[in-house]
Amino acid sequence: MDAILFGFGPFSKYKENPSKIIVEKMDGKIISGLRIKGILLPVTYSEVKDIIKREIVSRKPDLALGIGLAPGRNKITLEKIAINYEYSSIPDTSGMKGTGKRIDPDGPDGIFTNLNVEKIVRKLNEEKIPADISLSAGGYICNLAMYAIMQNSIKLGIKGGFVHIPCHRELVASDMELNCPYMEIGTIIKGIKIILKNFNL
């Protein structure tokens, strides 16, 4: 079986993105029987949809999972729904802001993940990984990525979803003005591996 993990590079004032670290560390590995392909996405509204569609359609994995940084969160949060909406107060790395338009004018207002996030969160908590369900991926690039992941995953009949992760210690230590909760990168990686192990629940 195969899985694509999508992550992101730095953006705004966050000079290191733990999702980039994770997808680079896991790329090429076999984890819980899944051959992992790590894909780094640009933090731009204009490119993300096309890259995700191309990778999912060409590779036809069993699982497509996005991972993104959610500064301020202190748990690994599995997103339940992506909304058909772009809005942001901060620009992407090309300088563009989400202005309130729909991601897909012809698409549904929201698309639910087909992962059993309730059971997966319980598995994470049983392993002492702080985790919860999130009902909003926001309106920034992570939500756009999840919407694209789910549109293409559903068309192919595969599993898809999105996970938001906290800042990691090194990021917070490098800039004390961030003043964010953090989680050790090893704990985050352990959590992602548990999600991979249980994606078919």
For the annotated catalytic residues, the residue numbers are: 79, 142, 164
12 phi-psi bin (left φ>0, alpha ψ -120 to 50, beta other): left
Closest CA to 109 of 85, 88, 87, 86: 85
DSSP string, 139-155: SSHHHHHHHHHHHHHHH
- Between CA 144 and CA 66 the distance in angstroms is 10
33 phi-psi bin (left φ>0, alpha ψ -120 to 50, beta other): left
Q: φ and ψ at 13, to 5 degrees?
A: -90, 5
58's CB contacts (< 8 A; 6+ apart) are none
- Between CA 35 and CA 29 the distance in angstroms is 6
